[in-house]
A and B are shown apart, each in its own frame.
Chain A
Amino acid sequence: MAKFSSIGTEMAIQDIGTVVAKRQTSAVDNNASGRMVREIIYVVCAVAGIAAFGFSFSDPFVVTLAGYTCAFALFALSINVILGGVGEVPLGQCLFFGIGSYGAAIGMGKAGLPFEVAVLIGLVLSVIWAAIIGTITLRLTGAYFSIVSWGLTGVAMVAANNLDDLTGGPLGLFGFPPIGIGPLELGDPQTYFLMTATILLASILFLVAVRRSPFGAAMESVRQNPHLARSVGVDVARIRLKAFMLSAPLAALAGALSVPYTQIVTPEVFSVANTVDGLLMVLLGGARLVIGPVIGAAMFTLIPQVLNLDPNVRILVFSSIIILIMMFAPGGLHQLSVALRERFGRKKDVDGVR
């Protein structure tokens, strides 16, 4: 048992679908098992918190807003799959958000489909478009990917404006029948919140599992040093594409889940302002942490509601904050907290015993 390292345990946990530890932890290195216990506690707390919030707050406005925050946090998560995952800037991520929104709206409103089916169609469409766009643009400089994905949102907006019959034109689609999934009425604030919060939590767990899987490691190597990654055998282009195709349905799901809140879908869903919001959430919480975007989302969906800012003031302030963050603390709050911890606590430098 002497030479057992933490690798065995970590790899066992990290692989998707395999949660049972296959090896013993060595006596010296109990990081891994300690961490697992901590994480289970986090999850339990999160579930408890969601339940508490959902069942105790009675003000429908607050609860519905919280639900919408969860949906938008999901959007921010999808941005971070790309930004914190492979290191590209997905300026056009609202394209998939819009596809999800319109998919739900058109499916329900025009085709009379149940909400779940409409959402599913939106998800599939988003993956297809991600595959197409990603194949074309991800092979080249990062700027190409960013500008083309941004430009395509403009095209999508133009299309949404012009294809009146399908999308309702500039006025958009509204007046939906009561939205629900099976017996769950999403019109009810509590149900809405519990549903979105649960989906958000599930997504977080999923993304954490991804980040710890070999695929996640490959993504990380691509983000840090694509050149070096290639030389250790990582297919950089393919990893980027896969990450992109993974992020798209998350964004689409977020878009679909926002429909019960906004009750209207206009071409504005493709607006770049959504990306600014999303980016800010990611940068604020810290792109290195999976739940960073969620923290950012919580802060910055709620604050404008409280302050009731003019939308342009909001963009101005948020953009300035983004610039400040990138100048002084690119790692966001997470980086700051780590820095503070290192300053005031002891340095964590584990040297294993041979």
Chain B
Amino acid sequence: MSMALDETPAVSARDITKRYGGVTALNGVSLDVQKGEIFGIIGPNGAGKSTLFDILCGITEPSSGSIRIMGTEMRGIAPHLIARSRVARTFQRTAVFAESSVLENLLFGRQTSFRHGVLGRIIGSSTYAEDQREFQNLVEEVLALIGLDGERNRKAGVLAYGVQRRLAIGVALMSDPKIMFLDEPAAGMNGRETADFIALIRAIAPGRTILIVEHDMAVIRQLCGRALVVVDGKPVVVDEPHLVLRHPEVVSAYLGADDD
């Protein structure tokens, strides 16, 4: 994974700190994720990785530090505007719109990616027709990709857990994102679902930058080029997964947590 030295990182964070009342959740975390990387963030529970994630995708404001996405400072920009700049995110809980069908879930983000306006819609301008065509193609592509083509009318809430997660990825794909944040996407999946999921991410990864917070080490090992370990709010090491997992501090942090 070599890149030109003057290329802006896709996601760049400097000295992120986050304090809640008296508790310091994050203490000086910095990272650079290059374009096209699949980057993992791991760490024991409560170590602050979810907080870091929320800050990186613009949902939470850090107490101090800066976040740049594609070189642009992200602090203070509203989440929905970030989403419209082709930065997508999936959530751990409430990953989909449970009361709506698979198709409707995909359609929810549509108006933000259109170039035509209301007038164009009413008079049926050519921009409108183009947008509709492109959009329709996109929907079909995404449905095929996540393997839910035949399930498009099923209510999202009744889908199996792993399938919901696939749908969540599909929803995230609708904005054709350049950068994707996946929050514990494989949580609760069984072995086969996880394998399918890994294949899906591999399929969508080309041309995108993906950040993943995960507990499942298999996922991290198989998908991520690099991973950052956060322990007690502090960054410990950034390196290839198999190296990171052998790092003495990481080992003690994880083993220490499991030790009874």
Contacts and interface: CB of A to CB of B under 8 A. Distances in A.
Nearest to B143: A5
A228 B94 contact: yes
Contacts of A16: 118, 121-122
Interface string A219-233: 011001101111111
B122 A17 contact: yes
A41 interface: no
A218 B140 CA distance: 21
Contacts of A350: 153
Contact of A351 (B83, B153, B172): B153
B175 A233 contact: yes
A231 B88 contact: yes
Interface in B53-102: 57, 78-81, 83-84, 88-89, 91, 94-100
B103 A7 contact: yes
Contacts of A228: 91, 94-97, 171
B153 A349 contact: yes
A224 B80 contact: no
A233 B80 contact: yes
Interface stretch (B31-39, B43-51, B108-116): B108-116
Given A15-B122, A228-B97, A234 B136 contact: no
A140 to B, nearest CB: 15
Interface string B127-154: 0010010001001100000000111111
A217 B107 contact: yes
Interface residues on chain B, size class: 35 or more
A332 B144 CA distance: 37
Contacts of A224: 97-100
Contact of A231 (B91, B103, B140, B152): B91
B216 interface: no
B9 to A, nearest CB: 22
A227 B80 contact: no
A227 B91 contact: yes
Contacts of A35: none
Nearest to B103: A7
A229 B174 CA distance: 13
A22 interface: yes
Interface of A: 3, 5, 7-8, 11, 15-18, 22, 214-215, 217-218, 220-221, 224-225, 227-236, 349-352, 354
13 contacts: A7-B136, A7-B139, A11-B132, A16-B122, A214-B110, A228-B94, A229-B108, A231-B79, A232-B83, A233-B83, A351-B153, A354-B149, A354-B150
